Amino acid sequence: MINGSKQKRVLSKRRKDMIFVACLVFVPLMQYFVFYICVNFNSILLAFQQYNIGDGETPGRYVFAGFVNFKKIYDEFISDGLILSCVKNSLMFYLINLVVGTGLGLTFSYYIARKRFASKLFKLILFMPSIISSIVLVTLFKYFANYAVPQIINNTFGTNVKALISTRQTAFGSIVFYNIWAGFGTAILLYSGAMSNVSESVIEAAKIDGAGPVREFIHVVLPLIFPTFKTFIVNGVAIVFASDMCLFSFFGTDAERYLWTFGYYLLRGARLASLSEYPYLAAIGVVLTMVCVPLTFSVRYLLTKYGPSID
């Protein structure tokens, strides 16, 4: 009898919990359904459609068009060179950022986590670009690189240097430099946070074994923070074709075509495109997603399999 009433109470509590959880997650899940599932499903549908402009009586509407948009992408890939240039720029940007940006980010974070001279101040300064609007920082950097730097070089070395952001030879390099220079913020915060959690006794043990800071970093700290590092790398691959390299902040919709990345191509398209151009942009998105998904999962698999072990 007592057991029965206890069971009843547990069941009633479980039912109340269930109703409460359902109330909490209902609205967020609806939001997710409309703005993630439906948006992406609609994106796939759009990729196979074309916009028929209506006449006076019938309004314009999207109609099924098979693989027309994909064929257009293929044709442009062969003839135009723009898509190839976007692939090249997106990948180059990712790789340079990965090697230089992540390398510097990790070493700077190590310095901060080991609480060396002025580490708190450096952490504050490294995070600062993240809180300044990209349009502000880009404008300051752009004008400085276009007007001040050439004048300094001309006055100091007598060499004639043109505006760095507006000259073909220096534009891509300068913009990649900007992205690394202004992009340490979150990485520094999370890497140094993870490094600070490495037990002092492990570091001490490594020191007793004769490890210097470099060996300590490579053989002790890096393996221990590898999950954080892996998260960053995997997320980086996932957005390799989504990053606009801040080109929109630098040039608005007028960036030179040789600088374009896919992220910029799509953002510019979303800003300027009419209803009839949405399907083509959606098709590019579908193609890029199909390339990115296996790439991301492969990188994740390789890092999990061959990444350093804590042992």
- What residues between 68 and 127 interact with other proteins by CB under 8 A? 104, 107-108, 110-111, 114, 116-118, 121-127
CB of 136 to other proteins, least distance (A): 4
Residue 201: both structure tokens together: 């006794």
CB of 81 to other proteins, least distance (A): 20
Q: Which stretch binds other proteins (CB under 8 A): 31-39, 67-75, 158-166, 303-311?
A: 31-39
Neighbour tally for 34: CB within 10 Å: 10
- Which member of 72, 203, 273, 307 binds other proteins (CB under 8 A)? 273
CB 210 within 8 A of CB 283: no
Q: In terms of CB distance, is 96 or 189 closer to other proteins?
A: 189
179-238 residues near other proteins, rule: CB under 8 A: 181, 189-190, 193-194, 197, 212-214, 228, 231, 234-235, 237-238
Residue 215: both structure tokens together: 């060996």
In what helix (H) or strand (E) does residue 112 lie, and over which residues does it extend?
Answer: helix 103-113
Tell me: does residue 35 bind other proteins (CB under 8 A): yes
Q: Which stretch binds other proteins (CB under 8 A): 71-79, 92-100, 149-157, 159-167?
A: 149-157
Number of residues that bind other proteins (CB under 8 A): 101
CB of 106 to other proteins, least distance (A): 11
Question: 63's torsion region: left (phi>0), alpha (psi -120 to 50) or beta?
Answer: beta
Separation between Cα atoms, residue 10 and residue 21, nearest integer Å = 16
Neighbour tally for 292: CB within 10 Å: 17
Separation between Cα atoms, residue 182 and residue 218, nearest integer Å = 26
